[in-house]
Amino acid sequence: MGKIKKKSIYSSRSDNIFFMIVNSILFIVLVIVLIPMLNIIASSFSSGNAVAAGRVFIWPVDFSLEGYKAVFRNNQVLSGYANTIYYTFFGTLINVIMTVLAAYPLSRSDFYGRNFITFLFTFTMLFSGGIIPNYLLMKDLGLIDTRWAMLLPNAITVYNMIITRTYFQTTIPNELLEASRLDGCSDIKFLILIVMPLSKAIIAVITLYYAVTHWNMFFNAYIYLNRKELFPLQLILRDILLANSIDPSMMTDPVLLKEKQNLTDLLKYSLIIVASLPVWCIYPFVQKYFVQGVMIGSIKG
Amino acid sequence: MTTKVMYPANKRATHHKLRKSLNNFKHSWQLYLIILLPLIYLIVFKYVPMYGVQIAFKKYSASHGIMGSKWVGLYQFNRLFNSPQFYKILSNTFLLSIYNIIANFPVPIILALALNTVRSKFYKKTVQMVTYLPHFISTVVMVGIILQVFNPRIGLYGKAMEFFGLNAVDLIGSPAAFPHLYVWSGIWQNAGWNSIIYLAALSSVDIQQHEAAIIDGASRFQCMIHIDIPAIMPTAIVLLIMNTGQMMNIGFEKVLLMQNDLNISASEIISTYSYKIGLSIGGGDFSYGAAIGLLNSVINFVLLVSVNFIARKVSETSLW
Amino acid sequence: MKRILKRKVLMVTLLAISIMLLTSCGTRENKKATGTNTDNAVDVSAPGELPIVKEKIELTIGIPNNANVQNFDTNEYTKWLEEQTNIDLKFDIFPSSGGMDKLQVMLASNSELPDVLIGFQMDDKLFLKYEDQGVFLALNDYIEEHGYWIKEMFEKTMVKDVKKYMRSANGKFYWMPYLVEQEGNVWAGKAWINKVWLDKLGLEVPTTTEEFRTVLKAFKTKDPNGNGKNDELGFTGSKNGWHQKAYDFLISSFIYNDHNNFYIVNEDGKADVAYDKDEWKEAMKYMNSLVQEDLFDLQSFTQDSSALKALAQNPDYNILGAFASGSPDALFSANRERLGEYVAIPPLKGPKGVAWAYKQPMMPRCYGVITKYCENPVAAFKLMDFMLSEESALRGRYGVPEKDWKYATENDICIFENIGRKALVVPILPYGAPQNSHWQSLHPTFRSAEISDGMAWNGDPLDGEYIKAKAITAYKDKAPEKIVSKLLFNIEESEEFYSLETSISAYVKEHIAMFITGRKNLENDWNDYIKELHNMGLDRYKELLQIGYERFEKGE
């Protein structure tokens, strides 16, 4: 955004006050969010004892990698990562293609039946058949215990489709369409050659949304998948957390019980980091697509 | 392209409309092709299983299957309606949901506008990156943080009150405080993430509009009001409509974890109550679960249609 | 150049799609033909004889995942079972959290199930629900004709009515038991008090509710932690720890408290509830009076176990005087010396002389069932019967002999010596860390008291298990003779009963908090409370409760 040159002649006092207010608000927001997040990160690198005693604030106390060791000690974690990366990559690919294919026609006001079809989509956002019919469907399609079970059922999230449609409606001007028509451009060509390049911002957003959904998904996995080799990361992490929760009614060995007790609290923190770090890293790459000025020159040129 | 046929004036109007629709239909064939695959998906994965909704009106038994199970009408629904605490539970659910939607609406927008205005790219990027982080915290940890921070003895809240010499009221055990704790912690967690879509919308605002306005003497604040806000209004309205349609799906796990014996009069909502019933019966009562789900869906549907209708009258944007 | 870029994107997308298609397809090989047809079942050995089958067969076991079991297929316990029985074991892994939900979905959609389901704690209602489809096989005949180790268990066990627990409302046995005789967990309603503070103030461990009040007051006012501030807490606990609710402990000084839904057996021998009785009202009054003097910590209603732990480990000065907990060692893990400051408070005598200890009766739990999809049900039964043998108990819990554990010698002292147990096993492999020697004990098993309470003491007086063991004597055998331990219902009764229970229970628990905190007044509001309970259906609830209790006690 900061492309506005410093027009010292034009920036008035009210502008300066305005910027000051905005910057302060953002600063407060930054602090409110940053402190607890630092606490989580710091806790994950602290010793179990320190976490249990509540001694960690925003910096690790008794630095230790216990929390992470407990996670990676499990040999299923790496396969979980691999599976999740697979599902996220291909799943998001399917998602984005299908979403755009649905959103573009619905954004065109001259699309016959547009309102009806939009309603068809929105209806499914509210009403669903329930677990049993869905399970039966997957069974009949032969998709139980296959990778497709993780990729197909949620191919389109209506929510994301609607925001994509709205974006197309507000940012692709009709003049562009008419101009292209004059050049003899078909709808399909228009979509691929003109609309897509101009919609980098929204595609970046839905890619991010879908990727994160896939990354965090475990419900489909635990209902539809039977083989451990296919389990995604979230499912395995949940299993780890559960396995390390103490059930005090099960008598355990004296020596280990004490270590395990601290581990449960500590694990919750290190699990968040393990599960979220890759996603945190994606965002900066996505963010560069929210660049202003994408539309410049497309009409005037 | 269309040849004009001469008709008497009054017929011309309707005929023109019909012709236009037919024209649209003819010319839309490519668009139909484009949307074909998504439609197939929709029908197969979403509409085909919908026949299962009827188990909400039946006593589902696996041996009879969905079609063969006994029809019981509103029996499953009455199990909820007749429960002694029904009105309390219903009002808790509505209160929490409505509060959640209204409070959650402006914050991401304000955040996005603020970020958009900031001059330093570095500052903008930093704040953006930090604010979306909490979205990934799992519900269990989130509630753990809430309980930790608001502990009147050892939490940040308790220590702060001590510092100011005030008495730290136990907020976690207070039914009055429950909705606030629930909603604002949710805003803390998700505002940054929710502002992403608005930032994307703002990024499509033509920068030349800004420059033109400034040359005309507008202050940065006025730019924001007159250019930025109208640019994201369609998105905001559409999101508001859709969120209203999700209203009854209010987070079940988070409420369950935040409940305790002292605040239960405010924290028992339809989903947590139904969960407990289902659990006590040993799980697997899919008819009851379906009935609750259907009830939620119907309420969501009514709300969605109403808000959509209002939006259509008041603004140009609506879902359909 | 835009064209070329577009073409590249297209190629990459096509490539990606093809890779995806190739790797996604391919379901597992079809399972063998299903059905209740067991004509192809192979011959089995006589009861108690190994191996179970002469020609090798395969059994699939559905089991919830456990992140601590590295690999069920190559696990030592699996290998040992396979060698001994000559049965090849295949595993269908269910998610550890939500495994039961998934099973419900599979059952409801008539999906094929593994031959045997192990490690799922299934409820009676489930068996009754699927009785008409015969999904779960009744084991009565198998036990009669082929049972060996299970019959031994019936003889040896300390649980007098073990068969009663295993029978369903329709008289059938559907499952193979997990029975661990652990005295320590029976007497789980413990409370603790700081002995160091008592000594400092010249006080004895309280024996009555009034003495308790005096002691708490002394803690509050006389600054036993010596830091000049009156920061010591009243009697506290947490809302979700294991038997950590502060009010649970104190109620049993007035009327028996089952720490759950408050079932009692009244003087007429009928099943009843505790919360509409005058004794209950007295209990509430007592605790409310403690609250008024700030001797009962209200935070115990809202804080979770972690918060209590943080309090217990308060740096510099200990502020915890007395608290309720079934397992205190968990709270002091970072500060173990403090654990040594506490002793168990025996049940306090209320004004009427009532001093009950909470008892969780030892009982077998459902841990293994055979589904109708099994072609060799007798062999499957015999496999689980074998799991009930003593050798299986030792290997299943401790691992490979000599490598993961060894037999105790004369010199090893037993942790549970105070209740008369001798040391039997010295563990080597730590329990609760990822391993491949056993299945974390999540299968039918019978661990008699000698084995489960036979762990050697490592000599550490601050050892959590040792401390818990020492405390047992304070509570042992102080429960009423008759308590409600289990209920048996048919399907309609169970639906009605548990629906009522959900509402009533929530109402009662909310009012415990209200009466104790004083938000509701015991003089003015008690009668409305009772009236509302009746409006909610308390009478019908009690009727059903009696039906369920009777059916269980009759045992047929």
Residue extents of the structural domains in chain C: 38-182+363-455, 191-358+483-554
Q: How many whole angstroms separate alpha carbon C430 and alpha carbon C445? A: 20
Q: Is residue A18 part of a domain?
A: no
Residue that wins the pLDDT comparison between A270 and C431: A270
Could you give the CA distance from residue C491 to residue C128 in angstroms, rounded to a whole number?
A: 7
The helix/strand/coil state of C426 is strand
Least CB–CB distance from B84: residue in C130, C311, C536: C536
Chain A residues touching residue C327 (CB < 8 angstroms)? 248
What is the H or E stretch that residue C343 is in? strand C342-344
Cβ of A188: how many Cβ atoms within 10 Å?
Answer: 13
**DSSP state string for A136-156:** HHHHHTT-TTSTHHHHSTTS-
**Closest approach of chain A CAs to the CA of B161, in angstroms?**
17
User: By percentage, how much of chain C surpasses pLDDT 70?
Assistant: 93
In chain C, the residue whose alpha carbon lies closest to the alpha carbon of B151 is C303
Whether A158 maps to a domain, the answer reads: yes
| Residue A124 · residue B42 · CB < 8 Å | yes
Helix (H) or strand (E) holding B189: helix B178-203
Q: Which domain holds residue A111?
A: 76-224
Give me the residues paired with residue C180 across strands.
Answer: C447
Q: For residues C465 and C469, what is the distance between their CA atoms, to the nearest angstrom?
A: 6
Check residue C460 and give its pLDDT. Answer: 79
CA distance C445 to C556: 24
Task: Give me the DSSP letters along A20-62.
Answer: HHHHHHHHHHHHHHHHHHHHHHHHHTS-HHHHHTT--SSS-SS
Per-residue model confidence as pLDDT tens digits over C362-383 = 889 999 999 999 999 999 999 9
pLDDT tens-digit readout, C449-497: 888 777 777 777 887 778 888 888 899 999 999 999 899 998 889 888 9
- Measured CA to CA, the distance from residue C542 to residue B100 in angstroms comes to 40
The answer to whether the bond into C51 is cis (omega within 30° of 0) is yes
Contact B84 C535 (CB under 8 A): yes
Query: Which residue is closest to C29 within chain A, CA to CA?
Result: A145
| Secondary element (H or E) of residue C365 | strand C365-370
pLDDT > 50? residue B18: yes
pLDDT at A87 over 80: yes
d(CA C493, CA C124): 12
- Indicate the length of chain C as a whole number: 556
Q: At what angle do helices B286-314 and A114-126 cross, to 10 degrees?
A: 140
pLDDT computed for residue A299 by the predictor: 35
Which residues from A are below 8 Å from C415, CB to CB?
254
Q: Does B37 touch chain C (CB under 8 A)?
A: no
A253/C432 touch (CB, cutoff 8 Å), yes or no = yes
Q: Where are the domains of chain B?
A: 76-314
Determine phi and psi for C170, rounding to 5 degrees. Answer: -100, 15
Domain boundary among A201, A224, A247: A224
Band (A254; pLDDT cuts 50, 70, 90): very low
Count of other CB atoms within 10 angstroms of residue C238: 25
Q: Is residue A176 part of a domain?
A: yes
User: Is residue C151's pLDDT more than 90?
Assistant: yes
What percent of chain B clears pLDDT 90, i.e. is strictly above it? 20
- A82 located within any domain: yes
Determine whether the interchain pair C239/B151 forms a contact, defined as Cβ–Cβ distance below 8 Å.
no
Contact B277 C239 (CB under 8 A): no
Mutate to test the interface with C, among A92, A234, A239 (most CBs of C within 10 A): A239
Residue C317's pLDDT is 85
B285 min Cα distance to partner chain C (Å): 9
Tokens of B195: 């502002």
Q: Please report residues of C whose CB lies closer than 8 A to that of A79.
A: none
Averaged pLDDT for residues A201-209:
88
The answer regarding whether domain B76-314 maps to CATH 1.10.3720.10 reads yes
Q: What is the C-alpha to C-alpha distance for residues C55 and B80, in angstroms, rounded to an integer?
A: 55
Q: Is C481 exposed, middle or buried (0-12, 13-18, 19+ CB in 10 A)?
A: exposed
B175 at the C interface (CB within 8 A)?
A: no
Q: Does residue B159 belong to the interface with chain C, where contact is any CB pair within 8 Å?
A: no
Note whether C536 and C507 are within 8 A (CB).
yes
Q: Looking at the complex, does the CB of residue A57 fall below 8 Å from at least one CB of chain B?
A: no
Instruction: Give the residue from C114, C116, C55 showing the smallest Cα distance to C86.
Output: C55
CB contact under 8 A, B262 and C512: no
Residue type, C276: D
**In this model, does residue C305 exceed pLDDT 70?**
yes
Instruction: For residues A251 and A260, give the distance between their C-alpha atoms in angstroms, rounded to a whole number.
Output: 13
How far are the Cα atoms of C65, C450, C514 from residue A144, in angstroms, in the given order?
18, 46, 50
Q: Write out the DSSP string of C373-415.
A: T-S-HHHHHHHHHHHTSHHHHHHHHH-SBTTTEEE--TTPPBT
* Residue that wins the pLDDT comparison between B247 and A256: B247
User: CA nearest C508: which of C486, C538, C487?
Assistant: C538
Task: Say whether both A53 and A90 belong to one domain.
Answer: no
Per the CB < 8 Å rule, is B62 touching C507? no
Torsion over CA: B58, B63, B65, B69 (sign)? negative
B115: Cα within 13 Å, side-chain hemisphere: 32
In chain C, the percentage of residues whose pLDDT exceeds 90 is 49
Put simply, the answer to whether C464 touches A257 (Cβ < 8 Å) is yes
| Residue of chain B whose alpha carbon sits nearest to that of A114 | B320
Chain B residues touching C532 at Cβ < 8 A: 84
**Shortest distance, CA B284 to any CA of chain C (angstroms):** 5
Domain boundary among A224, A247, A277: A224
Q: Which region among A190-204, B45-59, B274-288, C28-42 has the lowest average model confidence (pLDDT)?
A: C28-42
Give contacts of A 208-237 with B, CB under 8 A: 208, 212, 216
Give me A153's structure tokens: 């059922």
Spell out which residues of chain A touch residue C432, defining contact as CB-CB under 8 Å. Answer: 244, 252-253, 256-257, 260
- Name the band, by pLDDT with cuts 50, 70 and 90, for residue A262: low
A82 & A61 share domain: no
Contact yes or no for B134 and A37 at CB 8 A: yes
- Which site among B46, B225, B294, B299 would you substitute to test the A interface, given the most A Cβ atoms closer than 10 Å to its Cβ? B46
Q: What is the spatial distance between Cα C177 and Cα C149, in angstroms, rounded to a whole number? A: 12
Buried b (16+ CB within 10 A) or exposed e, B44-72: ebbebbeebbbbbbbbbbbeeebeebeeb
Residue A240 has pLDDT above 50, yes or no: yes
Poorest-pLDDT segment among A171-180, A246-255, A284-293: A246-255
Closest Cα to residue A126, out of C105, B287, B244?
Answer: B244
In this complex, which chains have at least 3 CB pairs below 8 Å with chain A? B, C
Contact B319 A201 (CB under 8 A): no
Residues 213-252 in B contacting A (C-alpha not used; CB under 8 Å): 214-215, 217, 219-221, 231, 234-235, 238-239, 242, 245-246
A238:C108 CB<8 A: no
DSSP B249: G
Taking contacts as CB-CB distances below 8 angstroms, the residues of chain A near C65 are 228, 239
Let me know if the fold of C38-182+363-455 is the same as that of C191-358+483-554: yes
Let me know if residue A298 belongs to a domain.
no
Q: Is-contact C378 C454, C-beta < 8 A?
A: no
Q: Are A160 and A167 in contact (CB under 8 A)?
A: no
Among the three residues A224, A245, A276, which one is the final residue of a domain in this structure? A224
Tell whether A1 is covered by a domain.
Answer: no
Please give the structure tokens belonging to residue C357.
């200890």
**Are C133 and B62 in contact (CB < 8 Å)?**
yes
| A6 vs C486 pLDDT, higher one | C486
For an interface test with C, the pick among B262, B264, B274 (most C C-beta atoms closer than 10 Å) comes out as: B262
**A98 & A134 share domain:** yes
CA distance readout (Å), C9 to A151, A245, B250, C1, C6? 21, 47, 40, 13, 5
Return the CATH fold of C191-358+483-554: D-Maltodextrin-Binding Protein; domain 2 (3.40.190)
- pLDDT score at A197: 86
Task: Name chain B's partners: 3 or more CB pairs within 8 A.
Answer: A, C
Instruction: State the amino acid at position C100 in one-letter form.
Output: M
For residue C494, how many other CB atoms are within 10 A of its CB? Answer: 23
Same domain, A258 and A162: no
β-pair partners for C60: C90
- pLDDT band of A276, cuts 50, 70, 90: confident
Please report, for the domain that includes residue A138, its CATH number: 1.10.3720.10
Positive or negative torsion for Cα B149, B151, B156, B157 = positive
- Cα separations in angstroms, A98 against A104, A158, A248, B38, C281: 10, 11, 49, 6, 64
The highest-confidence range among B149-153, C52-56, C163-167, by mean pLDDT, is C163-167
Contact C313 A53 (CB under 8 A): yes
Contact C108/B273, CB-based, under 8 Å? no
Q: Is A280 on the interface with B (CB under 8 A)?
A: yes
Give C455's contacts in chain A (Cβ within 8 Å). 251, 253
Lowest-pLDDT range of A88-92, C176-180, C335-339, C523-527: C335-339
Of the candidates C125, C299, C507, the beta carbon closest to that of B282 is on: C125
Please state whether the predicted TM-score (pTM) of the whole model is above 0.90.
no
The helix-helix angle for A76-107 and A158-171 (nearest 10°) equals: 40
Q: Around Cβ B11, how many Cβ atoms within 10 Å?
A: 9
Please determine, for residue A91, whether its predicted confidence score (pLDDT) is greater than 90. yes
- What is the amino acid identity at position C445? T
Residue A19 lies in a domain: no
- The predicted model gives B81-109 an average pLDDT of 90
Q: Answer for the pair B252, C76: CB distance below 8 angstroms, yes or no.
A: no
- Give the DSSP H/E element, type plus range, for residue C60: strand C57-64
Euclidean distance between CA atoms C311 and C318, whole angstroms: 8
pLDDT at residue A250 greater than cutoff 60:
no
Residue C191 is encoded by which pair of tokens?
């409370």
CA distance C266 to B221: 75
Instruction: Convert the pLDDT of each residue in B38-73 to its tens digit.
Output: 999 999 999 999 988 888 898 888 878 888 888 888
User: What average pLDDT score do residues C418-424 get?
Assistant: 75
A65 or A73, which is more confident: A65
Q: Is B253 an 8 Å CB contact of chain C?
A: no
Which is nearest to B269 in space by CA: B295, B237, B301?
A: B295
Residue scoring higher pLDDT (C334 or A121): A121
Residue B117 has pLDDT above 80, yes or no: yes
pLDDT digits (tens, 9 = 90+) for C158-216: 888 899 999 998 889 999 999 988 877 889 899 999 999 999 999 999 999 999 999 99
Q: What is the mean pLDDT of residues C437-449?
A: 89
A residues 77-116 lying closer than 8 A (beta carbon) to C: 86, 89-90, 93, 97
A17 belongs to a structural domain: no
Comparing A47-61, A273-287, C6-20, the range with the smallest average pLDDT is C6-20
Name every residue whose Cβ is closer than 8 Å to that of residue B4 and which is 6 or more positions away in sequence. none
- Closest-CA distance of chain A to residue C515, Å: 30
Domain count of chain A? 2
Check C65 against A228: CB less than 8 A apart.
Answer: yes
**CATH number of C38-182+363-455, picked from 3.30.450.40, 3.30.1360.120, 3.90.1300.10, 3.40.190.10:** 3.40.190.10
Classify the C-alpha dihedral A221-A222-A224-A228 as positive or negative.
positive
C-alpha to C-alpha distances, A202 to A163, B294, B320, C524, nearest whole angstrom: 8, 32, 20, 63
CB atoms within 10 A of CB A204: 21
Rounded Cα distance, B317 and B307, in Å: 11
Q: Is C509 on the interface with B (CB under 8 A)?
A: yes
